Every structure is written in structure tokens, then in C-alpha cells.
Amino acid sequence: MTDTGPDGAQPARLLRDTPVIRARLAWRRFARRIADHMPKGLYARSLLIVVLPMLILQSVVAYVFMERHWRLVTGRLSEALARDVAAVIDVVETWPQDPNWRTIRSIAERDLGFTVTLLPGSTLPPPMPKPFFSLLDSALSEEIEARVHRPFWIDTVGASDLVEIRVVLQNGILRVIARRSQAYASNSHIFLVWMVSTSLVLLTIAVLFLRNQIRPIQQLADAAESFGKGRPVGDFKPRGAREVRRAGEAFAVMRRRIERQIEQRTTMLAGVSHDLRTVLTRFRLQLALLPDGADREALEIDVGEMQAMLEAYLAFARGEGEEEATPTDLRELLRAIAQDAERAGFEIEHGFTGAPTLTLRPNAFKRLIGNLVGNALRHGEKVDLRGDHSAGWLTITVDDDGPGVPEDERDNVFRPFYRLDQARNQDEGGTGLGLAIARDIARSHGGDITLEASPLGGLRAVVRIPG
Ligand SMILES: Nc1ncnc2c1ncn2[C@@H]1O[C@H](COP(=O)(O)OP(=O)(O)OP(=O)(O)O)[C@@H](O)[C@H]1O
Ligand SMILES: [Mg+2]
């Protein structure tokens, strides 16, 4: 046993593996399950934070009130009414009455506040359907049962303000019609009405306030998202509570810094390329003056290549930064690229599924796809260009049946001026900027490019852009 120490005690790791840890794990699982069912938006969450305590407090208060006060008062009132009815029954059965019960009726009406009548017969109507939740019905039934000890029938539902009680006597049925308020703490529900309506008012105020607090956060999120996707941000102004405003200001500063950096990089490299081009041109002129020979030819080829690289970079640098993102029809864009390739005599399939319109920089994007298609056409015979826009992502796939790129080179080929063609002894290789530029454009739209093996046998380039 390697787990036990020299004195036979469990090592600390196992000791800690006991109830505390298990309880903590269980709690974490429970919390995660709760979090899964919680609303995900800040607005809904904040509303919940406001509403839930209010709801709990009110439920507790209402329950206690119902339980203690309402039930008690209604019970006492019902008891009093049942006692009065019992007294009337006692009087009627103990002392003989005139045929119309004039005396007891006037006593009941004047002193007890209800009317009594004698109905012939001895059968009660069928019991009324019990209301689902009625304190009065149950309290009154209970009290009459306890005090009268005879078959009875009550109707607390029928006539709105009145309660009817029928009790079977020896020579007929006693019918009592009392006011509902005699047996029931009827205006207690005002308390509930007040409580609910006050909380509705509070809730409305909370909704209005919360909306104003959350809007700046949403605006900040929208602005950051647009910026990440390379779209126009509009005139974003930090607003709202102090913390939110601070985050907004930090974003604005960061955005300005990034924009400045991109601009600086582009201008600097464009400047360098431009100056180098001037030097190269001079170089070329001087080369032309040299006597013919193999050395001179090799130098001329090198200088030509350098010039091509600089031209490619300058063409890219000129385009960047100035273009605005606009809604672009991608189906049309892919069709145009495929058509150009077909016209040049290549075999290319193309297609697009999903919503074709997306906001992006059309020229830059065309260059991105054009670079990938250009590579595919250069290396393969057959090319397949597919676009799909669904579930918030634009995916463009370029397949070819060429030699492909080995897995350990798939990162390297994105490096500027990095080419495999030289190793493959292809004369017509480009400058090696194509993929670097393509990735730069994809990333400036908030997306990326990945390379993998194609089902056609060559390389598959996948561009994914959020949108
Ligand atoms: N579809 C492909 N099949 C095989 N190899 C490829 C493919 N696409 C790119 N590569 C390899 O990756 C290298 C870099 O590609 P990249 O597009 O950056 O440069 P390039 O095509 O050589 O030059 P440029 O695009 O600037 O004219 C290429 O030299 C090539 O070896
Ligand atoms: Mg290329």
C-alpha cells in the first residue's frame, strides 16, 4: 500500500477527500444547475434581483396575514352568526310561536341583523359546489356544525352580498338570510389589493430605471462587437453609471490606440516600400549598364522578385484603412470571382447557401477570397468555392485537388514572404504575401482562416467571419 503513511494514517489528500469536499462538489453542481436555468441577460437578471425579494416578502406577509388575522376574524364572525342561529332555533323549539313567527322574525331582524323564515318540508336542496378557495364557506360550515347539530345547507356563493343558511327543524326548514359581512372579514382583501398594486408601481419604476442603467452597457457591447468585426462603430459616447462610463471610456481610448497603431504600421511600411522601390529602380538602371553575363541575369531576376514583393505590399497597404464596411452581396461576390477564373480558362465550381448579405469591406474581402482562389488555381486543376451564412457565421471554403500543404507547414505559409513553391521548384511562384494578407483581412473582420486537407485531395482553406 503506497497510500498509507509509515504510521498507518491516511495521507492528507485522502483525508480531505471526505464530506467537506463532497459537500462542496455537490454545492457547485447545484449552483451550476440553478445557473443553467437562470435568465442569461443582464436586464432579466437585474429584474429578478428586484422582483424576487419583493415576491418572497409579499408572499410571507400575505400568508401570515391570511393565516393569523383573516382566518381568526372570519372564524369569530362565523361563530357569532352560528351562535345567533342556534339561539333562534332554541327559542323556536322551546316556546310555541304564532303561525307566521312574527315575534321571532322581528327580533331576528331588529337585534340579530338577519331574516328568518319557515319553509315547509324537510328536504334540503343538493349541496352547493364548494368554491375552490373560500375561507367563509369552510369557517361557517364548521361553526354551524359545531353549534347547531342538525342537517343544514349553506350558500355562500349565490347572491353576492348575502349568505343563506337552511337548517332542518322538526316541523319545517329554518331559512336564515344574513349579510355576508356578518360572517366574513370581507374587506381584508383590500390589504392584498394595496399590496399588489403598490408592488406593481414599484416594479414599473424598477423596470424604467433598470432599462436606463442597462442601455449604456448594451451600447458598449454593441460598439465593441462592431469594432471587433471591422464595422463602423458610429458615434459611441460613454454614458451611464460611473463604472460603465469608465469601461466605455477605456474602450474608446483602446479603440483610438488600435486605430492609430494600424494606421502607423500601414503608413510606415508603405513609406519603406516606396523608398525601397526608388532604390530598386536605380539599381535596375545601373544593372542595365553592366556588361551582359550570367551574374547580371541572376541579379536582374532577384531585383525583379524584390520589386514584385514591394508592389504587392504597396497594393495591399494602399487599400487598407480607407475602405468602409458596407452591406455586401456575397453570392454575387463569389460568382464574380468564379466567373473571372472561368474566363481565364480554369475549372471552378461555386455555390452559396444562407442569407447572402453581410456588412464587410467588399474590396478587401474580394482580395481575401481572390488570394485563396488564386492559390488553389495555381496549385490545382479543379477548384470548388463554397459559401454558407448561417447561425451567425459566414463560412467560405476553397478546395483544390493540388498537392496540398503538409500539416507542419500550415502555420508557416501564413508568414509574409514564406513560400513552399521554391522548394517545389515552381518558377511562377508569387511573392509569398497572399496568405498573410488574406489572414490579416479575415482577422480585421473578427474572423480567421484555417487550412486543412481537402476531400478533393489538395488544400482546403476555410474562412470564418462572425456576422
Ligand atoms: N492551394 C494550395 N496548394 C498548395 N500549396 C499552397 C496552396 N496555397 C498556398 N500554398 C503554399 O503556401 C505558400 C504561401 O502562399 P501565399 O499565397 O502566401 O504566397 P504565394 O501564393 O506564393 O504568393 P502570392 O499569393 O503573394 O502571389 C505558397 O508558396 C504555396 O507553397
Ligand atoms: Mg498566393
Residues 31 and 81 in one domain: no
> Side chain identity at 334, as an amino acid letter?
L
**444 within ligand 1 shell (Cβ under 6 A):** no
Q: Which of 184, 200, 226 is the last residue of a domain?
A: 184
Q: Which three cell numbers stand for residue 74?
A: 372570519
Residues 405 and 343 in one domain: yes
In a domain, 190, yes or no: no
CA-closest residue to ligand 1 atom 29? 419
Q: Answer whether residue 302 shows pLDDT above 80.
A: yes
Q: Which three cell numbers stand for residue 124?
A: 334540503
pLDDT score at 132: 62
The string of pLDDT tens digits covering residues 197-213 is 998 998 899 899 988 99
In a domain, 205, yes or no: no
Question: Is-contact 182 77, C-beta < 8 A?
Answer: yes
pLDDT score at 319: 66
Q: Which of 150, 184, 218 is the last residue of a domain?
A: 184
Distance 342 CA to ligand 1 centre (A): 20
Distance CA 222, CA 239 (A): 14
Provide the CA 160 distance to its chain's centre, in angstroms.
48
pLDDT score at 5: 44
**Which residues sit opposite 166 in a β-bridge?**
153, 175
The string of pLDDT tens digits covering residues 92-151 is 888 888 877 888 888 999 999 999 988 888 888 888 777 666 777 888 888 998 998 889
Residues 95 and 175 in one domain: yes
Residues 25 and 78 in one domain: no
Residues 333 and 409 in one domain: yes
Residues 87 and 12 in one domain: no
> 294-319 and 242-289 are packed helices; what angle lies between their axes, rounded to 10 degrees?
150
Question: What is the CATH number for 143?
Answer: 3.30.450
Average pLDDT for 205-226 = 91
Name the average pLDDT for the chain: 86
The string of pLDDT tens digits covering residues 4-62 is 444 444 555 555 667 888 899 999 999 999 889 888 888 888 888 888 998 899 889 88
Longest alpha-carbon distance in the chain = 153
pLDDT score at 11: 53
Average pLDDT for 280-300 = 87
The string of pLDDT tens digits covering residues 418-457 is 888 765 555 566 788 899 999 989 998 999 999 999 999 9
Question: Is-contact 162 178, C-beta < 8 A?
Answer: yes
Helix (H, G, I), strand (E, B) or coil at 466: strand
Q: Give the DSSP H/E element, type plus range, for residue 383.
A: strand 382-390
Which residues neighbour 265 within 8 Å (Cβ) at sequence distance 6 or greater?
none
The string of pLDDT tens digits covering residues 233-277 is 888 899 989 999 999 999 999 999 998 998 898 888 888 888 888
Distance CA 114, CA 175 (A): 10
In a domain, 311, yes or no: no
**453 within ligand 1 shell (Cβ under 6 A):** no
Q: Answer whether residue 1 shows pLDDT above 70.
A: no
Residues 428 and 341 in one domain: yes
The string of pLDDT tens digits covering residues 350-379 is 999 999 999 999 989 999 999 999 999 999
Question: Is-contact 136 198, C-beta < 8 A?
Answer: no
pLDDT score at 360: 92
Instruction: Say which DSSP state 393 is in.
Output: E
Question: How are beta strands 114-119 and 162-169 bridged, if at all?
Answer: unpaired
pLDDT score at 354: 94
Give φ, ψ of 39 to 5 degrees. Answer: -65, 150
Provide the CA 149 distance to its chain's centre, in angstroms.
63
User: Containing domain of residue 88, as a range?
Assistant: 73-184
**404 within ligand 1 shell (Cβ under 6 A):** yes
pLDDT score at 8: 47
Q: Which of 184, 204, 223 is the last residue of a domain?
A: 184
Q: Give the torsion sign (CA, 312, 315, 320, 326).
A: negative
Q: Give the DSSP H/E element, type plus range, for residue 166.
A: strand 162-169
In a domain, 296, yes or no: no
In a domain, 133, yes or no: yes
Residues 12 and 135 in one domain: no
The CA-to-CA distance between both ends of the chain, in Å, stands at 59
Number of domains in the chain: 3
**449 within ligand 1 shell (Cβ under 6 A):** no
The string of pLDDT tens digits covering residues 76-88 is 999 999 999 999 9
Instruction: Say which DSSP state 430 is in.
Output: -
In a domain, 312, yes or no: no
CA-closest residue to ligand 1 atom 25? 434
pLDDT score at 190: 80
**Which residues sit opposite 168 in a β-bridge?**
173
Neighbours of ion ligand 2 (CB under 5 A): 375, 430, 434
Q: Which three cell numbers stand for residue 439?
A: 489572414
In a domain, 196, yes or no: no
CA distances from 66 to 3, 70, 74 (A): 61, 5, 10
**229 within ligand 1 shell (Cβ under 6 A):** no
Question: How are beta strands 114-119 and 152-155 bridged, if at all?
Answer: unpaired
pLDDT score at 161: 82
Residues 7 and 122 in one domain: no
CA-closest residue to ligand 1 atom 17? 434
pLDDT score at 383: 95
For the CA of 403, the closest atom of ligand 1 is 4
The string of pLDDT tens digits covering residues 313-333 is 787 777 665 778 899 999 999
Residues 334 and 458 in one domain: yes
Residues 24 and 153 in one domain: no
Which one, of 267, 368, 268, lies nearest residue 322 by Cα? 267
pLDDT score at 93: 85
Instruction: Give the number of other Cβ atoms within 10 Å of residue 411's Cβ.
Output: 11
Question: What is the CATH number for 380?
Answer: 3.30.565.10
pTM here is 0.65
**419 within ligand 1 shell (Cβ under 6 A):** yes
In a domain, 297, yes or no: no
Could you say which ligand is closest to the alpha carbon of residue 421? Answer: 1
pLDDT score at 205: 92
Q: How many residues does the chain have?
A: 467
With residues binned 3-state (H G I as helix, E B as strand, rest as coil), the percentages for the chain, rounded to 5, are 60, 15, 25
